[in-house]
Structure 1
Amino acid sequence: MVRTPTLAFDRGTLILHPPPRGKTWVDYATWDDRVEKFRIPAMHYRQLVEALQAEGTDFNDEAKEFSPLELVPSFEMEPYPHQTEALFAWKQAGRRGVVVLPTAAGKTYLAQLAMQATPRTTLIVVPTLDLMHQWYAHLTAAFPDAEVGLLGGGSRDRTPILISTYDSATIHAESLGNQYAMLVFDECHHLPTDFYRVIAEYAIAPYRLGLTATPDRSDGRHGDLKGLIGPEVYRKSPEDLAGFALAEHKLVQIKVKLSPKERDRYNTCIKLRNEFLRESKISLGSLEGWQKFVMASARSQTGRRAMLAHREAKEIASGTDGKLRILTDLLAQHYPERILVFTNDNATVYRISQDLLIPAITHQTPVKERHEILTRFREGEYKTLVASHVLNEGVDVPDARVAIILSGTGSSREYIQRLGRVLRKGSEGHKLALLYEVVAEDTSEEGTSQRRHGSEGKKEPQRHKEHRVIEKPKKPKLKQEQLEIFPSQPIYGVNQNQTPKAAESPAKWGEDETPEF
C-alpha cells in the first residue's frame, strides 16, 4: 500500500516523507542523511505546496498551524489614495512584497488594511521596544476583540496577533515559523542581516509585507528583501505625497564658516590624517577604504594619531560655534512653533541643552523621562527638543513644523527619517514644513550632505550663507504627479482541487477573492 506523503515542520525547515511522485518538488529539497528524509527550507512552503497541487499530488500538510481570524475593526478611516493603491499592488503581487513610503505616510494603517484583507494569524516584527508598544496600542484599538500579544521586553505571549522585536523574533524563529500565515516587517531594511534574516527563512508564512521609508542598505543586502519578503510593489517619495497625505515642505541649506582658530586646527588635523592615508595607500571613498583605515589605525602610533585627528576634525566641523549662532537665530525666528533639533552626537546635544535650556533626549534618557518630555512637547509646554539619533526611528514624535539638522551622517535613510518628523499634516489645514540643514563650509560636511541627498537630488535645497538674513520661505508650488499602480496580475496561475490540510475551504476575501492558505 502506497503511503501518502506528509509535509511536516521541523525547527525552521520542512520534511517531506515519503517522497511523492513527480519532479517539481525536487527543486526545493535536499537529502538529509541524519534523518534519511528530504528536507526543504521553510520559506519555500508556499511554492512547494503550489507545485504539489499543480501536479495533482495528494499529500498531508501537517506543517502549518496557523488559522483564520475574525478581524472586525472598531474604526475605519478613509484611506489615502496611496494607501489604497499600495494595498492593491501588494494583493496583485500575491500578497508578498515591500511597500516604500516616507515617514508619516501611514504605513501602520496600511498594515492594518492588509491584515483585514488577509484575516490570518499575523506576526508583526519591529526594531525597537518603543515601536512594539506603539503597534500594540494601535492594533488593540483597531481590533478590540482580537488577541494581541507581545514578544520582547519581558513579554513572551503566544497570541493570534503577535508583535515582536527583531531580536526576540530571531531568538524564537524556530518555534514561531509555522504559527503565522502572515508576516509584517516594519522598517524591513533591518531584515537582511546574518542574524535577523532567519525570521523570514525559518517561517512558512505564505503572505509577507515589508514596510520601510528607505530600503537601501550600504552593504547592498537590500537585494535580499525580494527573496525574504517579496519584490518591491509600490514606492512613493515625500515629494509625491506633499500636499495630500503629507504636509508640503521646503528644504533650506545654510552654510557657515569656521572661525580662523577652528579653520587652522581643522586644516592641521586633515593634513595629519591625509598624510597617513597617502603613506598607507588608503582611500576613504568607499566602505572598504574606511575599514582599512580603522584596521591600520590600530597597528601603529602614527595610525592612532591619524584616527584621532580625523575625529577631531569631524568634531570641529559638526560643533562649530557658527552653527550655534545660526541655531539661536532660527529658534528666535520661529518661536513659538514646535521645533526639533538633530545632531550627530550626544555631546553636542547636551551642550545645546545646557547653553540654551532646551530639553534633550538621547539613548541615555530614561523611558519615563523621555515619555514626559515628548508629552509636554506634544501639549505645547515645551517648544523645542534636541536629540541625536534616538528620534530617527522607532519613536512616535509629536507633530512639529520645523526641523534643524546641525550634523548627521551621510545616510539618506537618516535624512528621510528626520524629514519625516515634520511631515505629518496634523491639525493644520495648509501646513508648510521646514527642514534646515546647517553645514560647515569647506569641510567634509559638504560631502556628507551630498551623500545624504543622493536619492533626493530631484529637489535641490535652497542655500543661504551665514551672513545673509534668513527670510521665511514662501509656500512652494509642487507638481502633483499621478500615482503609479503596478500592472495587475493573477495571484495564482493554478486552480487545483486542494488536498486536506494543505489549504482551507474556500471563503470570501473581500468580494471575489478566495484564500489559498
Structure 2
Amino acid sequence: MRMDTAKPLIVQSDLTILAETGHPGFEEVRGGLSRFAELVKSPEHLHTYRITPLSLWNAAAAGVDVEEIAGCLQAHSKFGVPPSVLSLIRKYTSRYGVLRLVQVGAEVFLVSEDTVVLKEISARETLAPYLTDTRGERAIAVAPEHRGLLKMELIKLGYPAEDLAGYRSGEFVDLSLKSHDHAGEEAFRLRDYQRQAVAAFGQENGGSGVLVLPCGAGKTIVGIAAMAECRCATLILTSNVTSVKQWKRELLGKTNLTDEQVGEYSGSQKEVRPVTIATYQILTHRASKTDSFAHMKLFHERDWGLIIYDEVHLLPAPVFRATADIQATRRLGLTATLVREDGREEDVFSLVGPKKYDMAWKQLESMGWLAKVACREVRVPLSSLDRDRYSASGARSQFRIAGENAAKLAVIDWLLRRHPNEQTLIIGQYLDQLETIAAHTGAPMISGSVDHERREALYAQFKSGALPLLIVSKVANFAVDLPDAAIAIQVSGSFGSRQEEAQRLGRILRPKKNGQNKAVFYSLVSTDTKEQDFALKRQLFLVEQGYEYTITSWEQEGQADEVRAGRGQNAAGR
C-alpha cells in the first residue's frame, strides 16, 4: 500500500488511530475523530485514539453515519484504512437501531426487521424476565416496567436498542422563558449552540439523551430552555446544595416561575413542588447499609414529565436503578464529559440516553464564549524530608506524600507573584495541605465542613474582587459559578481523574471582563513520583479538547525567575 506522508493519521487493524499532532491539519482532523473515537494516549507528538462500540453507537445516535466515519479516516490516513477496520465500523454502527422499542396503545414491543437477530435475542435466558410473548416474526412484547433493564441487557449483548416507545406528558406546568426583566430590559437570549443543543434533545423521537457542553457554556440555561419546551413538572438532580441554589436562582431569574413553584429537596429542607431540585446525596442517603433509600420515593412524588440529571457523569449506582424504572419519563443528562471513573458509560447510554449533542471547548473559545486557557504542568522535586518518607512508604501513601509535597509552597508563592492582579483559585485534594496553604497565604479556605452561608459569602467576595485569592477543596469541583477566576493552581488531585480535571478547568473558563479573555490552569506535580504517572492520565481530557499543554520544571523556570527577581531587587537597592 502506498504511503501518503502528507496525511496525519495511521489507522491500525486493532481499531486504534495514531495522529501526528504537528501536522498542519491536525486541529481539523481531531474535530472529526472526536465524533466517533476516544483519545487514550497523548504524548507530545503522536496521539492515540481508539474506536469502540460505544463510541460508534453514540456517533450513530447523533446522526453520524458509516460513510462519514469512513470518509474521515480515508481522507486523512497515510496508508489507507484496513478493510477489517471498515468492516467492524460498519458492523457496530449498523447495530444501533436494529432493535427498536415501540409503543402500540398501552403495550411496548421490541421490534426488528432482522428476524434472525430478534429470534436470537428471544432465546437469551438473561432476557427472559423482561420479555413476555412473541407477536409474529418481528415483534416481542415487553413488560413496560422492564424497559430500562432490557436496554441494559441488550447493550451488554452488543445490540443497543433505539428507544422509540415514547414518553408520558407529565403534570402540566405553564413555564416560559422571560424575554424581559422587571425593568423592561432584555433579559437574555439563548446562544446559537444552546438552541442547537435543546433542539437536538427534543428532535424527532427525542426525549432522552445527554448533552455534552463545557463548564461555563451554560448547561443550566440549556436545561431550563428544555424545560420551557416540555412545559411539565420537572425533577432536577444535581451534585450539591450550592448547585441547588444556583439552579433555583437561574429558574427564578430567567423564567416566569414563582418562588412557590420551585422546591428544594436536600438535607435541610424537603419541598416537593412543580419544579423540584434535589441532590444525589439526599437520594442515596440511608441510615445504614441494610436500610432502604428512603428518599428514592421522590421519583414518584409527582407526575414528573422531565427529569434532568445535572453532572450526569456523577450519577450514583442507586440512582441508575431508580432510573431504570422510569423510562416512560423524559430524561436529560447534562455534563462536560461522558467519562466515568467507574466505567459505567454504557449504563448512561441505556438509561439516560445516548449523546445527542457535543460542543467542543475550543470551538466555543474561538467564538469568544469561553476564555482562552493555557494549561501548564509544573514539575516540583520532593523536599528532602518527603523524599525519605516517600521511599519508605507503600503505593497509596506515596501518592499522598507526592500530592502534599511541602516544596509546592514555594511554587505557589512564585505563581502568586507572577500573577499579582489576577483572581486566583488554589484547588486541592487534601485538607491538611489546604489548611497549611491557607495559613501560609492568609487566604480563606472552603471545604465540606464550611457551612453553606459561609461558602456563599466567600464566593460573593471573590466574585466582587474584594477577595483575590481563595483556597478550595473538591467541594468546588462542581457547579460553582466564579466567572472572574483567571488563575487556577491545582496542588493535588484524585489519582488520574479526567472528570475532575474537566471540572477544575471549568472554574476558570468563563469569559473575562479584562478584555484579554485569557486564563491559566497550573498543575503542580511532584517529579519522578506516582503523582507524575497519574498526571499523564489527567492530561488526556485537556489535550483531547485541544488545549495547549506544556510541562515545565520548577528547578529550571521557577528558580531562575526567583534569581532574576533577586538580582533586580539588589540592583534597585544599589
TM-score (normalizing by structure 2): 0.63
* CA deviation after TM superposition for structure 1 residue 318, in Å: 1.8
Contact 1:45 1:206 in 2 (8 A): no
2:323 is aligned, of 200, 207, 215, to 200
Report % sequence identity. Answer: 28
Q: Look up the match of 1:213.
A: 336
Question: Contact conserved, 2:486 with 2:512, CA < 8 A, in 1?
Answer: no
1:15-414 equivalences in 2 (<5 Å): 27-29=141-143, 40-41=145-146, 66-75=170-179, 77-92=188-203, 94-145=206-257, 147-169=261-283, 171-174=294-297, 176-177=299-300, 179-191=303-315, 193-243=316-366, 244-269=368-393, 273=394, 310-409=395-494, 410-414=496-500
1:168 positional shift: 4.2
Shift of 1:461: 1.4
1:388–1:166: structure 2 CA closer, same or farther, 3 Å change rule?
A: closer
Distance 2:347 2:492 in 1: 31
Distance 2:271 2:548 in 1: 48
Go from structure 1 to structure 2 and tell me whether the alpha carbon gap of 1:111 and 1:189 turns closer, same or farther (over 3 Å shift): same
Is the contact made by 1:185 and 1:211 (CA closer than 8 Å) also made in structure 2?
yes
Which of 555, 560, 570 lines up with 1:467 in the alignment? Answer: 555
1:240 CA drift (Å): 2.8
Listed one character per residue, the Cα deviations across residues 278-311 of structure 1 (whole Å, up to 9, x for unaligned) are xxxxxxxxxxxxxxxxxxxxxxxxxxxxxxxx45
User: Runs ≥4 in structure 1, deviation > 6 angstroms?
Assistant: 19-25, 44-51
**SS at the partner of 1:41?**
helix
Contact 2:447 2:472 in 1 (8 A): yes
Please list the CA deviations of residues 28-78 of structure 1 after superposition, one character each: whole Å capped at 9, or x if unmatched.
12xxxxxxxxx7337599999976x9xxxxxxxxx9682333223224523
Partners of 2:282 and 2:401 in 1: how far apart? 40
- Say which SS state the counterpart of residue 407 (structure 2) adopts: helix
Query: Which structure 2 segments of 5+ residues have no match?
Result: 1-104, 108-131, 152-160, 180-186, 285-293, 562-574
Q: Deviations over 1:232-280 (max 9, x none)?
A: 11123422321422111101111122234433432233xxx3xxxxxxx
SS of the residue 2:458 aligns to: helix
CA contact (8 A) 1:338 1:377 kept: yes
**Structure 1 residues 86, 351: closer, same or farther in 2, change over 3 A?**
same
Q: Residue 141 and residue 219 in structure 1: after superposition, are their counterparts in 2 closer, same or farther (change >3 A)?
A: same
Give the secondary structure class of the aligned counterpart of 2:489: strand
Instruction: Indicate how the Cα distance of structure 1 residues 142 and 43 shifts in structure 2: closer, same or farther if over 3 A, else same.
Output: farther
2:572 aligned residue: none
Greater Cα offset, 238-247 or 166-175: 166-175
Report the AA paired with residue 234 of structure 1.
Y
Q: CA RMSD in A?
A: 3.3
Distance in 1, Cα, partners of 2:164 & 2:553: 62
1:382 corresponds to which letter in structure 2? Answer: L
Q: Is the 8 A contact 2:386 2:401 kept in 1?
A: yes
- Spell out, residue by residue over 1:471-507, the C-alpha distance to the aligned partner (whole angstroms, 9 max, x if none): 99xxxxxxxxxxxxxxxxxxxxxxxxxxxxxxxxxxx
Residues of 1 paired with 2:283 and 2:430: CA distance? 30
1:354-383: CA deviations, max 9, x gaps?
122111111111222222221211121211
Q: How far apart are the structure 2 equivalents of 1:197 and 1:241?
A: 31
Q: Tell me which amino acid in the other structure corresponds to 2:351.
A: L
Deviation of 1:457 after TM superposition, in Å, equals 3.0
Q: Secondary structure at the match of 1:102?
A: coil
Q: 1:321 to 1:194 in 2, by over 3 A?
A: closer
Report the count of equivalent residues.
400
Query: Retained in 1: the 8 A contact 2:422–2:486?
Result: yes
CA contact (8 A) 1:100 1:212 kept: yes
Answer 1 or 2: higher relative contact order, Cα 8 Å, separation at least 6: 1
Taking the aligned partners of 2:385 and 2:349, their CA distance within structure 1 comes to 51
Report the AA paired with residue 227 of structure 1: S
**Quick check: 1:417 aligned with 2:541?**
no
Matching residue's letter, 2:248:
Y
For 1:253, what is the secondary structure of its paired residue?
A: strand
Q: Kindly tell me: are residues 404 and 25 of structure 1, through their superposed partners in 2, closer, same or farther at Cα, counting changes over 3 Å?
A: same
> In 2 relative to 1, CA 181–21 (structure 1 residues): closer, same or farther, beyond 3 Å?
farther
Deviation at 1:26, TM superposition (A): 5.3
Question: 1:205 Cα deviation (Å)?
Answer: 4.2
Aligned 8 A contact 1:167 1:196 in 2: no
Which residue identity lines up with residue 163 of structure 1 in the other structure? I
Q: Which residue of 1 aligns with 2:95?
A: none
CA distance 1:463–1:162, change in 2 (3 Å): same
Cross-structure match for 1:454: 540
Q: 1:402·1:435 contact (CA, 8 Å) conserved in 2? A: yes
Q: Which deviations, in whole Å up to 9, do the C-alpha atoms of 1:115-146 show, x marking residues without a partner?
A: 12222221111121221121111112222345
Residues 423, 468 of structure 2: 8 Å contact kept: yes
User: Structure 1 residues 468 and 173, CA, compared in 2 at 3 Å: closer, same or farther?
Assistant: same
Name which of structure 1's ranges 381-390 and 200-209 shifts more when overlaid on structure 2. Answer: 200-209
Q: Deviations over 1:416-471 (max 9, x none)?
A: 11111001014344310101111111111111110111233344511222133469
Change (3 A) 1:399 1:45: farther
Aligned-partner residue type, residue 102 of structure 1: P
Which of 102-111 and 254-263 deviates more? Answer: 254-263
1: distance between equivalents of 2:463 and 2:217? 19
